[in-house]
Structure 1
Protein backbone atom coordinates (compact mmCIF):
# COMPACT_ATOMS: atom_id res chain seq x y z
CA UNK A 1 0.00 0.00 0.00
CA UNK A 2 1.31 3.43 -0.89
CA UNK A 3 1.55 5.85 2.04
CA UNK A 4 -0.32 8.99 0.98
CA UNK A 5 0.77 11.37 3.76
CA UNK A 6 3.70 11.20 6.19
CA UNK A 7 3.64 14.34 8.36
CA UNK A 8 6.01 12.73 10.87
CA UNK A 9 8.72 13.43 8.29
CA UNK A 10 8.29 17.13 9.07
CA UNK A 11 7.61 17.40 12.81
CA UNK A 12 6.96 15.31 15.90
CA UNK A 13 5.58 18.13 18.06
CA UNK A 14 2.50 20.32 17.79
CA UNK A 15 2.85 22.76 14.92
CA UNK A 16 0.39 24.90 13.05
CA UNK A 17 2.25 24.01 9.87
CA UNK A 18 -0.16 25.66 7.44
CA UNK A 19 1.08 25.77 3.86
CA UNK A 20 -0.53 27.27 0.78
CA UNK A 21 -1.54 24.77 -1.90
CA UNK A 22 -3.04 25.10 -5.37
CA UNK A 23 -6.82 25.30 -5.48
CA UNK A 24 -6.81 22.33 -7.84
CA UNK A 25 -5.26 20.22 -5.03
CA UNK A 26 -7.88 21.22 -2.46
CA UNK A 27 -10.00 18.03 -2.40
CA UNK A 28 -8.06 14.80 -2.82
CA UNK A 29 -10.93 12.47 -3.70
CA UNK A 30 -10.06 8.80 -3.63
CA UNK A 31 -13.46 7.47 -2.48
CA UNK A 32 -15.96 6.45 -5.13
CA UNK A 33 -19.12 7.03 -3.08
CA UNK A 34 -18.63 8.94 0.18
CA UNK A 35 -22.39 9.02 0.75
CA UNK A 36 -22.42 5.22 1.10
CA UNK A 37 -20.23 5.62 4.19
CA UNK A 38 -21.69 8.85 5.55
CA UNK A 39 -25.44 8.38 5.10
CA UNK A 40 -25.72 5.36 7.47
CA UNK A 41 -23.85 7.31 10.14
CA UNK A 42 -26.10 10.31 9.59
CA UNK A 43 -29.15 8.07 9.99
CA UNK A 44 -27.95 6.10 13.01
CA UNK A 45 -25.81 8.63 14.91
CA UNK A 46 -27.07 12.01 13.76
CA UNK A 47 -26.31 13.82 17.03
CA UNK A 48 -22.75 12.50 16.91
CA UNK A 49 -21.95 13.35 13.28
CA UNK A 50 -24.07 16.39 12.44
CA UNK A 51 -24.79 19.76 14.01
CA UNK A 52 -25.69 23.33 13.09
CA UNK A 53 -26.50 26.52 14.97
CA UNK A 54 -29.30 28.93 14.04
CA UNK A 55 -28.30 31.45 11.41
CA UNK A 56 -25.69 29.25 9.70
CA UNK A 57 -27.72 28.45 6.59
CA UNK A 58 -26.19 31.21 4.45
CA UNK A 59 -22.70 29.98 5.20
CA UNK A 60 -23.76 26.40 4.58
CA UNK A 61 -25.13 27.33 1.17
CA UNK A 62 -21.86 29.05 0.29
CA UNK A 63 -19.97 25.90 1.25
CA UNK A 64 -22.30 23.89 -0.98
CA UNK A 65 -21.58 26.21 -3.90
CA UNK A 66 -17.85 25.90 -3.26
CA UNK A 67 -18.00 22.09 -3.27
CA UNK A 68 -20.16 22.13 -6.42
CA UNK A 69 -17.56 24.30 -8.16
CA UNK A 70 -14.72 21.99 -7.08
CA UNK A 71 -16.55 18.86 -8.27
CA UNK A 72 -17.97 20.47 -11.41
CA UNK A 73 -21.50 19.30 -10.73
CA UNK A 74 -24.74 20.43 -9.11
CA UNK A 75 -25.74 18.89 -5.79
CA UNK A 76 -29.44 18.53 -4.95
CA UNK A 77 -30.43 19.19 -1.36
CA UNK A 78 -33.28 16.63 -1.29
CA UNK A 79 -34.31 17.89 2.13
CA UNK A 80 -30.81 17.79 3.60
CA UNK A 81 -28.99 20.72 5.25
CA UNK A 82 -26.74 22.38 2.65
CA UNK A 83 -23.49 21.55 4.45
CA UNK A 84 -24.39 17.90 4.78
CA UNK A 85 -25.53 17.72 1.16
CA UNK A 86 -22.05 18.96 0.23
CA UNK A 87 -20.23 16.70 2.71
CA UNK A 88 -21.80 13.49 1.44
CA UNK A 89 -20.23 14.11 -1.98
CA UNK A 90 -16.64 14.34 -0.74
CA UNK A 91 -14.59 12.09 1.58
CA UNK A 92 -13.67 15.10 3.71
CA UNK A 93 -15.49 16.16 6.83
CA UNK A 94 -16.66 19.78 6.54
CA UNK A 95 -16.61 22.33 9.34
CA UNK A 96 -18.13 25.80 8.93
CA UNK A 97 -16.48 28.34 11.22
CA UNK A 98 -17.99 31.81 11.62
CA UNK A 99 -17.19 34.85 13.72
CA UNK A 100 -19.90 35.11 16.37
CA UNK A 101 -19.98 36.93 19.70
CA UNK A 102 -16.43 38.17 19.22
CA UNK A 103 -14.87 34.76 18.53
CA UNK A 104 -14.45 32.27 15.72
CA UNK A 105 -16.92 29.47 16.47
CA UNK A 106 -18.04 26.23 14.82
CA UNK A 107 -21.39 27.03 13.23
CA UNK A 108 -22.08 23.74 11.45
CA UNK A 109 -20.23 20.50 10.81
CA UNK A 110 -20.51 17.10 9.21
CA UNK A 111 -18.28 14.65 11.05
CA UNK A 112 -17.98 11.15 9.59
CA UNK A 113 -14.38 10.40 10.63
CA UNK A 114 -13.91 11.90 14.10
CA UNK A 115 -10.70 11.17 15.97
CA UNK A 116 -12.12 10.72 19.47
CA UNK A 117 -14.61 13.59 19.58
CA UNK A 118 -18.23 14.26 18.65
CA UNK A 119 -20.27 17.18 17.34
CA UNK A 120 -21.33 18.17 20.84
CA UNK A 121 -17.68 18.63 21.81
CA UNK A 122 -17.15 21.43 19.28
CA UNK A 123 -20.44 22.87 18.01
CA UNK A 124 -20.80 26.58 18.83
CA UNK A 125 -17.48 26.54 20.66
CA UNK A 126 -14.62 28.94 20.04
CA UNK A 127 -11.18 27.97 18.76
CA UNK A 128 -9.79 28.39 22.26
CA UNK A 129 -12.45 26.19 23.84
CA UNK A 130 -11.97 23.47 21.23
CA UNK A 131 -8.20 23.33 21.62
CA UNK A 132 -8.05 23.75 25.37
CA UNK A 133 -7.30 20.00 25.91
CA UNK A 134 -4.18 20.34 23.74
CA UNK A 135 -1.48 21.10 26.28
CA UNK A 136 0.02 24.54 25.65
CA UNK A 137 -2.04 25.26 22.53
CA UNK A 138 -3.84 28.32 23.83
CA UNK A 139 -0.64 29.82 25.22
CA UNK A 140 1.56 29.02 22.22
CA UNK A 141 -0.72 29.06 19.19
CA UNK A 142 -4.20 30.47 19.79
CA UNK A 143 -3.51 34.13 18.95
CA UNK A 144 -1.59 33.11 15.84
CA UNK A 145 -4.42 30.84 14.68
CA UNK A 146 -6.96 33.60 15.27
CA UNK A 147 -4.81 35.96 13.16
CA UNK A 148 -4.78 33.36 10.39
CA UNK A 149 -8.58 33.22 10.42
CA UNK A 150 -8.83 37.00 10.43
CA UNK A 151 -6.36 37.46 7.59
CA UNK A 152 -7.43 34.56 5.40
CA UNK A 153 -8.01 35.94 1.92
CA UNK A 154 -10.43 34.57 -0.66
CA UNK A 155 -8.86 32.13 -3.10
CA UNK A 156 -6.11 31.03 -0.71
CA UNK A 157 -6.14 27.35 0.27
CA UNK A 158 -4.10 26.37 3.34
CA UNK A 159 -3.20 22.82 4.30
CA UNK A 160 -1.79 21.14 7.40
CA UNK A 161 -1.38 17.53 8.49
CA UNK A 162 -1.03 15.71 11.80
CA UNK A 163 -0.49 12.10 12.83
CA UNK A 164 -1.11 9.60 15.59
CA UNK A 165 -1.09 5.83 16.13
CA UNK A 166 -4.27 3.91 16.91
CA UNK A 167 -5.33 0.26 17.06
CA UNK A 168 -8.27 0.68 14.72
CA UNK A 169 -8.65 0.75 10.95
CA UNK A 170 -12.03 2.49 11.20
CA UNK A 171 -12.30 6.17 10.20
CA UNK A 172 -15.33 6.59 12.50
CA UNK A 173 -13.87 6.65 16.01
CA UNK A 174 -15.86 9.07 18.19
CA UNK A 175 -14.93 7.25 21.43
CA UNK A 176 -11.42 6.19 22.37
CA UNK A 177 -12.36 3.94 25.31
CA UNK A 178 -13.43 0.74 23.48
CA UNK A 179 -10.48 1.00 21.11
CA UNK A 180 -7.84 1.52 23.77
CA UNK A 181 -9.36 -1.24 25.91
CA UNK A 182 -8.22 -3.71 23.24
CA UNK A 183 -4.54 -2.72 23.39
CA UNK A 184 -3.48 -5.28 26.05
CA UNK A 185 -4.70 -8.12 23.82
CA UNK A 186 -2.34 -7.17 20.96
CA UNK A 187 0.76 -9.35 20.83
CA UNK A 188 4.03 -7.72 19.67
CA UNK A 189 4.12 -9.82 16.50
CA UNK A 190 0.67 -8.43 15.60
CA UNK A 191 1.68 -4.77 15.82
CA UNK A 192 2.38 -4.45 12.09
CA UNK A 193 -1.22 -5.38 11.26
CA UNK A 194 -3.14 -4.26 14.35
CA UNK A 195 -1.69 -0.76 14.73
CA UNK A 196 -2.40 2.01 12.23
CA UNK A 197 -0.86 5.36 11.48
CA UNK A 198 -3.78 7.79 11.40
CA UNK A 199 -3.18 11.02 9.49
CA UNK A 200 -5.51 13.98 9.35
CA UNK A 201 -5.08 16.18 6.31
CA UNK A 202 -6.80 19.51 7.02
CA UNK A 203 -7.48 22.53 4.83
CA UNK A 204 -8.76 26.03 5.48
CA UNK A 205 -10.47 28.45 3.08
CA UNK A 206 -12.30 31.76 3.33
CA UNK A 207 -15.96 32.02 2.35
CA UNK A 208 -15.86 35.36 0.52
CA UNK A 209 -19.60 36.08 0.51
CA UNK A 210 -20.55 35.32 4.11
CA UNK A 211 -17.12 35.95 5.63
CA UNK A 212 -16.79 32.63 7.41
CA UNK A 213 -14.21 29.92 6.86
CA UNK A 214 -14.42 26.31 5.75
CA UNK A 215 -12.23 23.82 7.58
CA UNK A 216 -11.95 20.34 6.06
CA UNK A 217 -10.64 17.14 7.61
CA UNK A 218 -9.66 14.07 5.60
CA UNK A 219 -8.50 10.96 7.47
CA UNK A 220 -6.01 8.57 5.92
CA UNK A 221 -5.09 5.27 7.61
CA UNK A 222 -2.43 2.69 6.85
CA UNK A 223 -1.15 -0.29 8.84
CA UNK A 224 2.05 0.30 10.76
CA UNK A 225 3.54 -2.57 8.76
CA UNK A 226 3.40 -0.52 5.55
CA UNK A 227 6.36 1.45 6.86
CA UNK A 228 8.53 -1.65 6.50
CA UNK A 229 8.20 -1.32 2.71
CA UNK A 230 9.34 2.32 2.75
CA UNK A 231 12.71 2.53 4.59
CA UNK A 232 13.08 6.35 4.43
CA UNK A 233 9.66 6.85 5.95
CA UNK A 234 10.27 4.08 8.46
CA UNK A 235 13.36 5.96 9.61
CA UNK A 236 11.45 9.25 9.75
CA UNK A 237 8.66 7.66 11.77
CA UNK A 238 11.14 6.07 14.18
CA UNK A 239 12.85 9.41 14.69
CA UNK A 240 9.52 11.17 15.29
CA UNK A 241 8.44 8.45 17.72
CA UNK A 242 11.65 8.85 19.72
CA UNK A 243 11.77 12.64 19.63
CA UNK A 244 8.11 13.54 20.15
CA UNK A 245 7.73 16.07 22.95
CA UNK A 246 6.21 14.79 26.21
CA UNK A 247 3.11 16.99 25.82
CA UNK A 248 2.54 15.69 22.28
CA UNK A 249 3.00 12.08 23.42
CA UNK A 250 0.62 12.55 26.34
CA UNK A 251 -2.10 14.22 24.26
CA UNK A 252 -1.90 11.57 21.53
CA UNK A 253 -1.67 8.81 24.17
CA UNK A 254 1.37 7.40 22.40
CA UNK A 255 2.78 5.80 25.60
CA UNK A 256 -0.03 3.24 25.38
CA UNK A 257 1.68 1.86 22.27
CA UNK A 258 5.34 2.25 23.29
CA UNK A 259 6.13 -1.43 23.78
CA UNK A 260 4.37 -2.54 20.61
CA UNK A 261 5.83 0.19 18.41
CA UNK A 262 9.33 -0.14 19.85
CA UNK A 263 9.36 -3.89 19.19
CA UNK A 264 8.11 -3.32 15.65
CA UNK A 265 10.83 -0.75 14.99
CA UNK A 266 13.54 -3.01 16.41
CA UNK A 267 12.31 -5.89 14.27
CA UNK A 268 12.81 -3.69 11.21
CA UNK A 269 16.24 -2.30 11.96
CA UNK A 270 15.29 0.79 13.95
CA UNK A 271 16.85 -0.23 17.24
CA UNK A 272 16.42 2.90 19.37
CA UNK A 273 13.55 3.06 21.80
CA UNK A 274 11.66 6.14 22.87
CA UNK A 275 14.27 6.71 25.56
CA UNK A 276 17.15 6.19 23.17
CA UNK A 277 18.08 2.80 24.66
Structure 2
Protein backbone atom coordinates (compact mmCIF):
# COMPACT_ATOMS: atom_id res chain seq x y z
CA UNK A 1 0.00 0.00 0.00
CA UNK A 2 1.29 3.45 -0.91
CA UNK A 3 0.94 6.01 1.85
CA UNK A 4 1.39 9.65 0.97
CA UNK A 5 1.69 10.86 4.57
CA UNK A 6 0.13 13.84 6.25
CA UNK A 7 0.84 16.23 3.39
CA UNK A 8 -2.06 14.72 1.46
CA UNK A 9 -2.26 12.39 -1.53
CA UNK A 10 0.29 12.58 -4.33
CA UNK A 11 -2.44 12.76 -6.99
CA UNK A 12 -5.88 14.33 -6.61
CA UNK A 13 -7.79 14.07 -9.92
CA UNK A 14 -10.96 15.20 -8.09
CA UNK A 15 -9.36 18.49 -7.02
CA UNK A 16 -11.63 20.59 -9.26
CA UNK A 17 -14.69 19.30 -7.40
CA UNK A 18 -16.24 17.94 -10.60
CA UNK A 19 -17.11 14.45 -11.79
CA UNK A 20 -16.94 13.72 -15.49
CA UNK A 21 -16.81 10.44 -17.37
CA UNK A 22 -14.08 11.48 -19.78
CA UNK A 23 -10.79 10.24 -21.17
CA UNK A 24 -8.95 13.11 -19.48
CA UNK A 25 -5.76 12.46 -21.43
CA UNK A 26 -2.71 14.70 -21.16
CA UNK A 27 0.64 14.55 -22.91
CA UNK A 28 3.29 12.42 -21.20
CA UNK A 29 6.97 13.29 -21.23
CA UNK A 30 8.67 9.96 -22.10
CA UNK A 31 11.12 10.39 -19.22
CA UNK A 32 8.16 10.24 -16.79
CA UNK A 33 6.72 7.03 -18.22
CA UNK A 34 7.64 4.74 -15.32
CA UNK A 35 7.01 5.80 -11.71
CA UNK A 36 9.22 4.42 -8.93
CA UNK A 37 8.95 5.30 -5.24
CA UNK A 38 9.83 4.03 -1.76
CA UNK A 39 7.18 1.30 -1.98
CA UNK A 40 8.94 -0.33 -4.92
CA UNK A 41 10.48 -3.25 -3.02
CA UNK A 42 7.28 -4.11 -1.14
CA UNK A 43 5.12 -3.95 -4.28
CA UNK A 44 7.52 -6.00 -6.40
CA UNK A 45 7.67 -8.65 -3.68
CA UNK A 46 3.87 -8.67 -3.59
CA UNK A 47 3.89 -9.29 -7.33
CA UNK A 48 6.24 -12.22 -6.79
CA UNK A 49 3.92 -13.64 -4.13
CA UNK A 50 0.87 -13.37 -6.39
CA UNK A 51 2.69 -14.90 -9.35
CA UNK A 52 3.85 -17.82 -7.22
CA UNK A 53 0.41 -18.40 -5.73
CA UNK A 54 -1.64 -18.28 -8.96
CA UNK A 55 0.29 -17.06 -11.98
CA UNK A 56 -2.62 -17.59 -14.38
CA UNK A 57 -4.70 -15.09 -12.41
CA UNK A 58 -2.18 -12.28 -12.79
CA UNK A 59 -0.37 -13.07 -16.04
CA UNK A 60 -1.72 -14.42 -19.30
CA UNK A 61 -1.25 -13.91 -23.02
CA UNK A 62 -2.83 -14.99 -26.27
CA UNK A 63 -0.72 -16.90 -28.81
CA UNK A 64 0.99 -14.76 -31.43
CA UNK A 65 2.01 -11.78 -29.33
CA UNK A 66 5.43 -13.04 -28.25
CA UNK A 67 7.35 -10.54 -30.40
CA UNK A 68 5.32 -7.60 -29.08
CA UNK A 69 5.99 -8.75 -25.53
CA UNK A 70 9.71 -8.79 -26.22
CA UNK A 71 9.41 -5.30 -27.68
CA UNK A 72 7.86 -4.10 -24.41
CA UNK A 73 10.65 -5.66 -22.36
CA UNK A 74 13.41 -4.07 -24.46
CA UNK A 75 11.66 -0.69 -24.34
CA UNK A 76 11.33 -0.97 -20.58
CA UNK A 77 14.93 -2.02 -19.99
CA UNK A 78 16.17 0.87 -22.09
CA UNK A 79 13.96 3.31 -20.19
CA UNK A 80 15.08 2.09 -16.78
CA UNK A 81 18.74 2.24 -17.76
CA UNK A 82 18.35 5.81 -19.03
CA UNK A 83 15.97 7.38 -16.52
CA UNK A 84 16.20 5.13 -13.43
CA UNK A 85 19.83 3.98 -13.28
CA UNK A 86 20.49 1.78 -10.30
CA UNK A 87 17.06 0.15 -10.06
CA UNK A 88 18.14 -2.92 -12.02
CA UNK A 89 21.38 -4.60 -12.98
CA UNK A 90 21.99 -6.46 -16.23
CA UNK A 91 24.80 -8.92 -16.83
CA UNK A 92 25.22 -12.03 -18.99
CA UNK A 93 21.55 -12.12 -19.94
CA UNK A 94 20.37 -11.86 -16.34
CA UNK A 95 18.33 -8.98 -14.93
CA UNK A 96 18.55 -8.24 -11.19
CA UNK A 97 16.19 -6.02 -9.19
CA UNK A 98 18.44 -4.27 -6.72
CA UNK A 99 15.84 -3.58 -4.00
CA UNK A 100 14.66 -7.18 -3.78
CA UNK A 101 17.76 -9.08 -4.89
CA UNK A 102 15.64 -11.10 -7.32
CA UNK A 103 17.40 -12.19 -10.51
CA UNK A 104 15.86 -13.41 -13.75
CA UNK A 105 17.39 -15.09 -16.78
CA UNK A 106 15.91 -13.44 -19.84
CA UNK A 107 16.08 -16.73 -21.73
CA UNK A 108 13.55 -18.17 -19.28
CA UNK A 109 11.03 -15.54 -20.41
CA UNK A 110 11.70 -15.72 -24.16
CA UNK A 111 8.03 -16.30 -25.05
CA UNK A 112 6.47 -14.50 -22.09
CA UNK A 113 8.60 -11.39 -21.86
CA UNK A 114 5.71 -9.29 -20.51
CA UNK A 115 5.81 -11.43 -17.37
CA UNK A 116 9.43 -10.45 -16.78
CA UNK A 117 8.69 -6.81 -17.63
CA UNK A 118 5.95 -6.73 -15.01
CA UNK A 119 8.36 -8.00 -12.34
CA UNK A 120 10.69 -5.03 -12.89
CA UNK A 121 8.26 -2.15 -12.31
CA UNK A 122 5.40 -1.26 -9.97
CA UNK A 123 3.08 -0.73 -12.92
CA UNK A 124 0.72 -3.34 -14.30
CA UNK A 125 1.18 -3.82 -18.06
CA UNK A 126 -1.58 -4.50 -20.57
CA UNK A 127 -0.96 -5.09 -24.27
CA UNK A 128 -3.67 -4.13 -26.78
CA UNK A 129 -3.88 -5.07 -30.48
CA UNK A 130 -6.34 -3.91 -33.18
CA UNK A 131 -9.11 -6.37 -34.00
CA UNK A 132 -12.40 -6.48 -35.88
CA UNK A 133 -14.29 -4.89 -32.96
CA UNK A 134 -11.61 -2.47 -31.85
CA UNK A 135 -8.48 -2.90 -29.76
CA UNK A 136 -8.29 -6.25 -27.96
CA UNK A 137 -6.45 -7.16 -24.74
CA UNK A 138 -3.91 -9.75 -25.91
CA UNK A 139 -1.57 -9.99 -22.90
CA UNK A 140 -1.30 -8.62 -19.38
CA UNK A 141 0.81 -8.65 -16.26
CA UNK A 142 -1.97 -7.60 -13.92
CA UNK A 143 -1.09 -8.08 -10.27
CA UNK A 144 -3.04 -5.10 -8.92
CA UNK A 145 -6.48 -5.11 -10.58
CA UNK A 146 -9.16 -2.79 -9.23
CA UNK A 147 -12.01 -5.28 -8.97
CA UNK A 148 -11.77 -7.07 -12.30
CA UNK A 149 -10.61 -10.46 -13.51
CA UNK A 150 -7.95 -10.88 -16.17
CA UNK A 151 -9.50 -14.18 -17.25
CA UNK A 152 -12.77 -12.38 -18.09
CA UNK A 153 -11.13 -9.61 -20.12
CA UNK A 154 -8.33 -11.34 -22.05
CA UNK A 155 -9.20 -11.53 -25.74
CA UNK A 156 -11.99 -8.96 -25.41
CA UNK A 157 -12.24 -5.60 -27.21
CA UNK A 158 -12.35 -2.32 -25.30
CA UNK A 159 -16.12 -1.93 -25.55
CA UNK A 160 -16.74 -5.35 -24.04
CA UNK A 161 -14.03 -4.91 -21.40
CA UNK A 162 -15.86 -1.81 -20.16
CA UNK A 163 -19.43 -2.98 -20.77
CA UNK A 164 -20.29 -2.80 -17.05
CA UNK A 165 -18.88 0.70 -16.62
CA UNK A 166 -21.89 2.98 -16.30
CA UNK A 167 -22.04 5.38 -19.27
CA UNK A 168 -18.96 4.04 -21.05
CA UNK A 169 -20.71 2.75 -24.18
CA UNK A 170 -22.72 5.95 -24.61
CA UNK A 171 -20.01 8.52 -23.83
CA UNK A 172 -16.58 6.97 -24.24
CA UNK A 173 -16.77 3.88 -26.41
CA UNK A 174 -16.34 5.46 -29.83
CA UNK A 175 -14.01 8.31 -28.72
CA UNK A 176 -11.69 5.75 -27.07
CA UNK A 177 -11.66 3.56 -30.19
CA UNK A 178 -10.88 6.60 -32.38
CA UNK A 179 -8.12 7.70 -30.05
CA UNK A 180 -6.51 4.26 -30.10
CA UNK A 181 -6.53 4.31 -33.90
CA UNK A 182 -4.67 7.63 -34.03
CA UNK A 183 -2.25 7.29 -31.11
CA UNK A 184 1.31 7.92 -32.30
CA UNK A 185 4.41 6.14 -30.99
CA UNK A 186 6.12 9.48 -30.29
CA UNK A 187 3.14 10.97 -28.41
CA UNK A 188 2.46 8.93 -25.24
CA UNK A 189 -0.31 10.12 -22.94
CA UNK A 190 -1.44 9.64 -19.35
CA UNK A 191 -4.63 9.95 -17.34
CA UNK A 192 -5.78 9.50 -13.73
CA UNK A 193 -8.63 7.39 -12.41
CA UNK A 194 -9.95 7.37 -8.83
CA UNK A 195 -12.21 5.42 -6.50
CA UNK A 196 -13.03 5.20 -2.80
CA UNK A 197 -12.72 1.69 -1.39
CA UNK A 198 -13.17 -0.10 1.91
CA UNK A 199 -10.21 -2.41 1.24
CA UNK A 200 -6.59 -1.22 0.81
CA UNK A 201 -5.43 -4.41 -0.94
CA UNK A 202 -3.72 -3.81 -4.27
CA UNK A 203 -4.98 -7.13 -5.68
CA UNK A 204 -8.79 -7.02 -5.90
CA UNK A 205 -10.78 -9.10 -8.37
CA UNK A 206 -14.34 -8.59 -7.09
CA UNK A 207 -16.55 -6.19 -5.21
CA UNK A 208 -18.31 -4.06 -7.80
CA UNK A 209 -22.01 -3.18 -7.50
CA UNK A 210 -22.19 -3.93 -3.77
CA UNK A 211 -25.17 -2.40 -1.99
CA UNK A 212 -25.21 -4.03 1.45
CA UNK A 213 -24.69 -1.55 4.27
CA UNK A 214 -21.31 -1.35 6.01
CA UNK A 215 -22.43 -0.66 9.56
CA UNK A 216 -18.85 -0.86 10.85
CA UNK A 217 -17.91 2.24 8.86
CA UNK A 218 -19.05 5.43 10.55
CA UNK A 219 -18.33 9.13 10.28
CA UNK A 220 -15.95 8.77 13.21
CA UNK A 221 -13.80 5.97 11.73
CA UNK A 222 -14.21 6.56 7.97
CA UNK A 223 -10.77 8.16 7.75
CA UNK A 224 -9.14 4.90 8.82
CA UNK A 225 -11.63 2.43 7.26
CA UNK A 226 -11.80 3.91 3.75
CA UNK A 227 -9.07 4.43 1.15
CA UNK A 228 -8.56 6.64 -1.90
CA UNK A 229 -7.33 4.50 -4.77
CA UNK A 230 -5.71 6.36 -7.66
CA UNK A 231 -4.60 4.80 -10.93
CA UNK A 232 -2.02 6.63 -13.02
CA UNK A 233 -2.54 5.17 -16.47
CA UNK A 234 -0.32 5.65 -19.52
CA UNK A 235 -0.79 4.74 -23.17
CA UNK A 236 1.90 4.45 -25.82
CA UNK A 237 2.07 2.80 -29.20
CA UNK A 238 4.91 0.34 -29.71
CA UNK A 239 6.94 1.55 -32.72
CA UNK A 240 7.67 -1.90 -34.21
CA UNK A 241 4.55 -4.00 -33.65
CA UNK A 242 2.09 -1.11 -33.68
CA UNK A 243 0.35 -2.55 -30.61
CA UNK A 244 -0.55 -0.29 -27.69
CA UNK A 245 0.88 -0.68 -24.19
CA UNK A 246 -1.40 0.42 -21.36
CA UNK A 247 0.25 0.78 -17.95
CA UNK A 248 -1.46 1.15 -14.57
CA UNK A 249 0.38 2.45 -11.51
CA UNK A 250 -1.75 2.17 -8.38
CA UNK A 251 -1.59 4.42 -5.32
CA UNK A 252 -3.63 3.73 -2.17
CA UNK A 253 -3.96 6.26 0.64
CA UNK A 254 -6.16 6.21 3.76
CA UNK A 255 -8.96 8.74 3.52
CA UNK A 256 -7.43 10.35 6.61
CA UNK A 257 -4.66 11.73 4.37
CA UNK A 258 -7.11 14.56 3.64
CA UNK A 259 -7.18 15.70 7.26
CA UNK A 260 -4.48 18.26 6.49
CA UNK A 261 -6.14 19.20 3.18
CA UNK A 262 -9.67 20.44 3.86
CA UNK A 263 -9.68 21.96 0.38
CA UNK A 264 -9.26 18.52 -1.20
CA UNK A 265 -11.83 17.05 1.18
CA UNK A 266 -14.34 19.66 0.00
CA UNK A 267 -13.47 18.95 -3.64
CA UNK A 268 -13.86 15.20 -3.18
CA UNK A 269 -17.20 15.76 -1.42
CA UNK A 270 -18.37 17.84 -4.36
CA UNK A 271 -17.17 15.36 -6.99
CA UNK A 272 -18.90 12.49 -5.19
CA UNK A 273 -22.13 14.50 -5.00
CA UNK A 274 -21.99 14.99 -8.79
CA UNK A 275 -21.33 11.32 -9.53
CA UNK A 276 -24.29 9.69 -11.30
CA UNK A 277 -26.12 6.98 -9.39
CA UNK A 278 -25.09 4.31 -11.89
CA UNK A 279 -21.43 5.12 -11.37
CA UNK A 280 -21.89 5.16 -7.59
CA UNK A 281 -23.27 1.63 -7.78
CA UNK A 282 -20.52 0.52 -10.15
CA UNK A 283 -17.92 1.76 -7.65
CA UNK A 284 -19.78 0.16 -4.70
CA UNK A 285 -20.16 3.42 -2.81
CA UNK A 286 -23.69 2.88 -1.37
CA UNK A 287 -22.57 0.60 1.53
CA UNK A 288 -20.63 3.43 3.18
CA UNK A 289 -21.68 6.55 1.27
CA UNK A 290 -23.43 8.28 4.15
CA UNK A 291 -20.47 7.85 6.51
CA UNK A 292 -18.09 8.95 3.75
CA UNK A 293 -19.98 12.14 2.97
CA UNK A 294 -20.43 13.08 6.60
CA UNK A 295 -16.72 12.53 7.27
CA UNK A 296 -15.78 14.73 4.31
CA UNK A 297 -18.29 17.36 5.48
CA UNK A 298 -16.43 17.51 8.78
CA UNK A 299 -13.03 17.96 7.10
CA UNK A 300 -14.34 20.44 4.52
CA UNK A 301 -15.79 22.65 7.27
CA UNK A 302 -12.20 23.43 8.32
CA UNK A 303 -11.38 24.96 4.94
CA UNK A 304 -10.61 28.67 5.09
Counterpart contact for 1:13–1:245, Cα < 8 Å = no
Aligned to 2:149: 118
Corresponding residue SS for 1:104? strand
Counterpart contact for 1:162–1:199, Cα < 8 Å = yes
Corresponding residue SS for 1:27? coil
1:13 correspondence with 2:20: yes
Aligned to 1:275: none
1:67 correspondence with 2:76: yes
Counterpart selection for 1:129 from 156, 160, 182: 160
**Deviation (angstroms), 1:55:** 0.2
**Deviation (angstroms), 1:132:** 0.8
TM-score relative to the length of structure 1 = 0.91
Aligned to 1:32: 40
Aligned to 1:262: 293
**Deviation (angstroms), 1:184:** 2.8
Rounded to whole Å, the distance in 2 between the matches of 1:26 and 1:158 is 9
**Deviation (angstroms), 1:180:** 8.2
Rounded to whole Å, the distance in 2 between the matches of 1:50 and 1:181 is 32
Worse-superposed segment, 66-75 or 206-215: 66-75
Aligned to 2:169: 138
Corresponding residue SS for 1:16? coil
Aligned to 2:98: none
Counterpart contact for 1:5–1:199, Cα < 8 Å = yes
Counterpart selection for 1:54 from 55, 63, 82: 63
Aligned to 2:237: 206
Rounded to whole Å, the distance in 1 between the matches of 2:132 and 2:274 is 40
1:98 correspondence with 2:129: yes
Rounded to whole Å, the distance in 2 between the matches of 1:173 and 1:66 is 28
Going from structure 1 to structure 2, the CA distance change for 1:136 and 1:102 (only over 3 Å counts) comes to closer
Counterpart contact for 1:167–1:183, Cα < 8 Å = no
Aligned to 1:274: none
Offset from partner CA, 1:185-221 (integer Å, 9 cap, x none): 2343211101001111110000010010000011111
Rounded to whole Å, the distance in 1 between the matches of 2:300 and 2:237 is 45
Aligned to 2:189: 158
Rounded to whole Å, the distance in 2 between the matches of 1:19 and 1:266 is 31
Worse-superposed segment, 204-213 or 251-260: 251-260
| Ranges in structure 1 where 5+ consecutive residues have no aligned partner | 272-277
Say what the alpha-carbon RMSD is for the aligned residues.
2.0
Point out 4+ residue stretches in structure 1 off by more than 6 angstroms. 179-182
Aligned length: 270
Counterpart contact for 1:13–1:248, Cα < 8 Å = no
Rounded to whole Å, the distance in 2 between the matches of 1:102 and 1:240 is 33
**Deviation (angstroms), 1:103:** 2.7
Rounded to whole Å, the distance in 2 between the matches of 1:181 and 1:84 is 37
Counterpart contact for 2:207–2:284, Cα < 8 Å = no
Offset from partner CA, 1:24-49 (integer Å, 9 cap, x none): 11111113324311111011122221
Worse-superposed segment, 218-227 or 70-79: 70-79
Corresponding residue SS for 1:250? helix
TM-score relative to the length of structure 2 = 0.83
